Structure 1
C-alpha cells in the first residue's frame, strides 16, 4: 500500500490550486459583449487601442475607514488619451489599467482589482494610516 509522503501531498495541493486558479481565470475571461437589456449596467463603454469596448469606471467620492477616497476620469492618461485619477485625502494614488481591464496601483502593484474604487480601498487598508508620498 502506498504511503502519503510530503512530496505527494504538496504535488496534489499544487494540482488542486492550479485547477482552482484556472477555473477562476476561465470565469473572468468569458466572452464580452453588450450587456443584456434591463440589467442595470450604467457604466459607459469606450473603445480601447485595440478597438474592443471596455467599461469606463464611474466617478466616486466617499469616506472609507476614515479616509476620503475619490476617483474620476482625467485627461492625463499618457499614450491612451483619457486616464483615471484616484486620490486619497487629496493626494494622488497612481493607478493603471491592465490590458485585461483590471487595475493596479503603486501601493498594491502585484495585486489586481476590478475597479479603481477597489484599488483605492485596498490602498487605504495597506497604508494603515500612513500618508501617500509623491512620485517624482
Structure 2
C-alpha cells in the first residue's frame, strides 16, 4: 500500500490552491473588463496643500496628503497606514491604501488591480462598492 508523505500532500494542496487563486484572479479580471466604462467626473479643484475633495457618483472622496513627521495621519485609527501615505476617505470613512514598489497603488477594495494614483484608486473603489459603505479594518466599530 502506497502512503502519501506529508510533503507530497502539502505540495499537492499548494498546487491546487495556486490554480484556484489564478482562476479566481482571471475571473475577477474578466468581470472588471466586462463592466461598462463609467465616465469620470472632472477632478474637483485641489484645495490647499494638494488635498482633493470631490463628489464622484454621489460619494464624497477626500484625499489628504501625508504631513511631515512621524505620525502622518494625526494618530487616527492607530496609524494603520505607512508613513508618507495619503489619507483617502470615502464618505468620511478611511479607505486603506498602499503604494507598491513600482509606484502603483492598491486598496483593500481593489486589491488585485493597480492604479496610477490615489484619486483613480478612490474612484474605482466607489464604483466597486456600488453604494455599500466602507467597514473599518478589523471588523465592525
Instruction: Calculate the TM-score normalised by the size of structure 2.
Output: 0.52
Question: RMSD of the alignment, in Å?
Answer: 1.8
Which one has a larger percent strand, Structure 1 or Structure 2? 1
Task: Specify the alignment match of 1:117 in structure 2.
Answer: 119
Task: Specify the alignment match of 1:100 in structure 2.
Answer: 102
Partners in 1 of 2:82 and 2:119 — Cα distance?
Answer: 20
Partners in 2 of 1:100 and 1:78 — Cα distance?
Answer: 21
Partners in 1 of 2:136 and 2:81 — Cα distance?
Answer: 21
Across the two proteins, how many residue pairs are aligned to each other? 79
User: Is the contact between residue 65 and residue 85 of structure 2 (CA under 8 Å) also seen in structure 1?
Assistant: yes
Q: Are 1:135 and 2:127 an aligned pair?
A: no
Q: Which runs of 5+ in 1 are unaligned?
A: 1-57
Q: Return the match for 1:68 from 46, 56, 60.
A: 60
Shift of 1:73: 1.7
SS across alignment from 1:117: helix
Shift of 1:79: 8.6
